[in-house]
Amino acid sequence: MKREDLINIGKVAGTYGYQGMVRIAPLTDFPERFKKLKKVIVSHNGAVREVSVEEARPHGQAYLLKLVGIDSREDAQEYRNALLQIESSQLYPLPEGCFYHFQLQGLSVYDEEKGLLGELTEILETGANDVYVVKSAQHGEILLPAIKEVILEVDPEAKRMLVRLLPGLL
């Protein structure tokens, strides 16, 4: 397992009780995955290790997890801000034409008329639609609404996105 192949699904936000449970802030659109987890990769202070999950249950907007080897509140506090990760083979499949954010970040963005614009560096979730932040050497920062009129083609394997700039986007 390579670190760069791991996908973040949660972050240890704190502790719960005295039995070593950790409170997880989900970093996934599928938080129900925590209920089914048998093992998870914990990345903390430069160390990455696979840990078995003894128990998982929802707790408000968070999840509570009991991980093997974390048996006290003090043990659990040591893992504050640790990332919970999975391998890409454990991702839930998405519908055709939908992509995970990590699949889009780093793509080269091309306009159908102007050619290479730059690299997609960030995705802003706005509510109505996502906004792709493209860093361009020529144009500075470009904000592209993630709508079908603008995003024409996405090819993660080729690391490429084709767009049509609407008037006023540059």
Please check the confidence at residue 1 and state whether its pLDDT lies above 60.
no
Which range of residues forms the domain containing residue 45? 3-90
Are both 86 and 105 inside the same structural domain?
no
Tokens of 104: 């889009």
Look at residue 165 in the predicted model and tell me its pLDDT. Answer: 94
pLDDT for 4-18, tens place per residue? 678 999 999 999 999
Are both 152 and 130 inside the same structural domain?
yes
Are both 85 and 124 inside the same structural domain?
no
pTM for the structure as a whole: 0.73
Cβ neighbourhood burial of 24 (10 Å; 0-12, 13-18, 19+): buried
What stretches of the chain show up as alpha helix (H) in DSSP? 33-36, 73-77, 101-104
d(Cα 145, Cα 93) in Å, to the nearest integer? 24
Look at residue 2 in the predicted model and tell me its pLDDT. Answer: 62
pLDDT for 10-57, tens place per residue? 999 999 999 999 999 999 888 999 999 999 999 998 889 999 999 999
Total domains, the chain: 2
User: Considering the domain boundaries, does residue 13 fall inside one?
Assistant: yes
Q: Average pLDDT, whole number, for the chain?
A: 92
Confidence label for 3 from pLDDT (cuts 50, 70 and 90)? low
Instruction: Report which residue type is found at 3.
Output: R
Nearest to 16 by CA among 63, 85, 83, 68: 63
Are both 36 and 80 inside the same structural domain?
yes
